[in-house]
Amino acid sequence: MKTTILNHEYIEQEITTNAGKEFRYRWSHGATTKHLGDGMILYSMMYFFKPKLSVCLGSGGGYIPRIMWSCISDLRQEGYDGKGESRVILVDAVNGVNGEPDWTNEDSFFRTNFNSEWLHSTTEEAYYEYFVKRDMKIDMLWIDADHTFDGVKKDFDLYSEIMSDNGIIMIHDTDKNYVDNFVETKEHEDYDLSGPSEWLRRFTIGHKYDDYEVLNLFNYGIEKDFPSSTGLTILRKK
């Protein structure tokens, strides 16, 4: 069986484009039409840890939920999720903060091709009204919603409390070099993008830092023409 991660046609038509048409924010993951960027890291970790519940907080183009669901689909085909219990949940309020997603219509490419559940609410509402009420534990968490410092801090403080043992947290856009060198466009001119990197700076010198294994993957702008991520921080509680 050929997994999706090795199927170049599938990657180019389903993951990195909408049937050949580029979608927004793919570049921020260091992804091109042929290369997955951060997506390869996420897929690899999910493949080996085999999470039952993967949650993505915020996604402008649906890129990360695509990676999550593709991995779950591959694991099912290989017999690792025989009961079909593994889930991918996307939380997005679609409130215009840091841009409008392009997948909100039911007939959008993302929603018709990927079986991700969508909670149409803020991350805080979803935490209390959905995850906590159901006593759910998250195995793989991607934080990429409100990019203000307060927003990132709130998401981490809340959701880190409901991670499973050995649960993995990934926070996007944490490279300060990206924030310092970001060229504003009309599409982004009103957005505060400094939150993830500022959260990481404060977290690094805070009392919780020693409780976690932390890996920072930064390569923004190292080579002018090289696809680069806007920063990814991976955490797991010791």
Cα separation, 28 vs 231, whole angstroms: 8
**pLDDT value of position 46:** 96
Output the pLDDT for position 185.
43
> How many other CB atoms sit within 10 Å of the CB of residue 185?
7
What's the confidence (pLDDT) of residue 98? 58
Domain region containing 216: 4-237
- pLDDT on residue 186: 43
Which DSSP string corresponds to the chain? ---GGG-HHHIIIIISSBTTB--TTGGGBT--SS--THHHHHHHHHHHH--SEEEEE--SSSHHHHHHHHHHHHHHHTTTTTT---EEEEE---SSTT---S--STTSHHHHH---EEE-S-HHHHIIIIIITTT--EEEEEE-S--SHHHHHHHHHHHGGGEEEEEEEEEES--HHHHHH----TTTTT----HHHHHHHHHHTSTTGGGEEEEEE--TTSSTTS--BS-EEEEEE-
pLDDT given for residue 116 in this prediction: 83
Beta-carbon contacts of residue 181 (< 8 Å; ≥ 6 apart):
220, 221
Total domains in the chain come to: 1
The token pair at 134 is: 């159901």
Angle between helices 195-204 and 149-159 (to 10 degrees): 60
User: pLDDT tens track of the chain, all 238 residues?
Assistant: 456 777 888 889 989 999 988 887 888 888 888 889 999 999 999 999 999 999 999 998 899 999 999 999 999 988 888 788 999 999 999 876 656 677 887 888 888 888 789 999 999 999 999 999 999 999 999 999 999 999 999 999 999 999 999 999 999 999 998 888 765 544 555 667 899 999 999 999 998 999 999 999 998 766 555 557 899 999 999 9
For position 89, which CATH number holds? 3.40.50.150
